[in-house]
Amino acid sequence: MKDIRTAPFLVEICRTCDNMYRLGWDERNGGNISMLLDESEVAEYIDVNAEGRVLETKFDAAYIGGRYLIVTGTGQYFKNVSVSPETCLGIIKIAEDGKSYKILWGFEDGGRPTSELPTHLMNHIVRLKADKNHKVVTHTHPTNVIAMSFVHTLDEKEFTKTLWRMITECVVVFPDGIGVLPWMVCGNEEIGVATAAKMDTRRCVVWAQHGIFGSGTSLDEAFGLIETVEKAAQIYMMIKDSEILQTITDDNMKDIAKAFGLNVREGYLD
């Protein structure tokens, strides 16, 4: 077997966790990441038939039965992931019936996946149905997105359009818009179901006064999506109390959509 610390997927998730911590998005043990892996890439580094602890998924994940994921651990600090990946991360395999999963590698201190795992799995399922190339779900706490959720209406259309107006590239990066949920208790099935209901047609959902859920076909894409939303929220928080002399109009965004061949969320541009 090859040394798993050299596995591209492990190197990439460690780098992403480092970046998110550096940006101040994942204080203490805040935030979590999961990424779907192919058996062929996992089998180079671990025994996929090894015995391991078996835990319940707590909902029906049969749609992704047999799939492998690398997941951040509950209670683990992002700042420690690259230092001790075998403790802070784990590779799991979902049982064929979707009712349980086996830990094949990692969580060496007896840990387990993030408490948000059911929400991650629900959203992997809906995103895979929407995009067969989907791979990553990321939950993090970007400072300005959270601040914006205190002072801006939580209407999804208005929240999205405010962000689109902040930077020209926003409508290009997330033409599907942003989902928004009011404050809810985290780590339970209710918030997972509510998030998944929005992620079927979007790749990003804001949890008011908490953080953001983003997805993508790669860690770079998911990270870049959240990064762009956070930058737009930062600009909004900087200028919201100022006199606005000019802005990006709906007609401007229609021109961008035409130039880039975008399918902008229907009904959002007047």
Q: What is the CATH number of the domain that holds 48?
A: 3.40.225.10
CB-based burial label for 140 (10 Å; 0-12, 13-18, 19+): buried
| Residue 24 and residue 102 in one domain | yes
Residues 56, 166, single domain; the answer is: no
Question: Is there a contact between 107 and 90 (Cβ–Cβ < 8 Å)?
Answer: yes
pLDDT digits (tens, 9 = 90+) for 132-166: 999 999 999 999 999 999 999 999 999 999 999 99
The predicted-structure confidence for 102-132, as pLDDT tens digits, reads as follows 999 999 989 999 999 999 999 999 999 999 9
**How confident is the model at residue 176, as a pLDDT?**
97
Do residues 180 and 80 both lie within one domain?
no
How high is the pLDDT of residue 58?
85
Same domain (yes/no): 160, 73 = no
Confidence at residue 171, expressed as pLDDT on a 0 to 100 scale: 98
Residue 72 has φ and ψ, to the nearest 5°, of: -75, 155
Domain end position, chosen among 63, 87, 115 = 115
Instruction: Give the domain extent around 235.
Output: 132-265
Q: What is the pTM assigned to this prediction?
A: 0.95
SS3 159: helix
What does the pLDDT read at residue 186? Answer: 85
Q: Is 107 a domain residue?
A: yes
Q: Tell whether 72 is covered by a domain.
A: yes
Same domain, yes or no: 155 and 92 = no
Amino acid 47: pLDDT: 95
Question: Which pLDDT value is given to residue 189?
Answer: 84
- In this structure, the answer to whether residues 212 and 146 fall within a common structural domain is yes
Please, which residues have CB within 8 angstroms of residue 204's CB and are 6 or more apart in sequence?
Answer: 174, 178, 179, 212, 213, 214, 215, 225, 226, 229
* Domain-embedded: residue 22: yes
Same domain, 167 and 210: yes
Q: According to the model, what pLDDT value does residue 87 have? A: 97
Q: Are residues 12 and 83 in the same domain?
A: yes
Q: Does some domain include residue 11?
A: yes
Residues in the chain, pLDDT under 70? none
In this prediction, residue 93 carries a pLDDT of 98
Predicted local confidence at residue 141, as pLDDT: 98
Q: How far is CA 239 from the centre of its chain?
A: 27
Which residue among the candidates 12, 39, 116, 221 is catalytic per the annotation? 116
- Residue 57: inside a domain, yes or no? yes
Residues 23 and 97 in one domain: yes
What total of structural domains would you count in the chain? 2
CB atoms within 10 A of CB 111: 18
Query: What is the pLDDT, as a whole number, of residue 127?
Result: 98
**Residue 108 known to be catalytic:** no
Are 107 and 162 part of one and the same domain? no
Does some domain include residue 126? no
Shared-domain flag, residues 188 and 256: yes
The pLDDT, as a whole number, for residue 188 is 81
Evaluate whether residue 124 is within a structural domain.
Answer: no
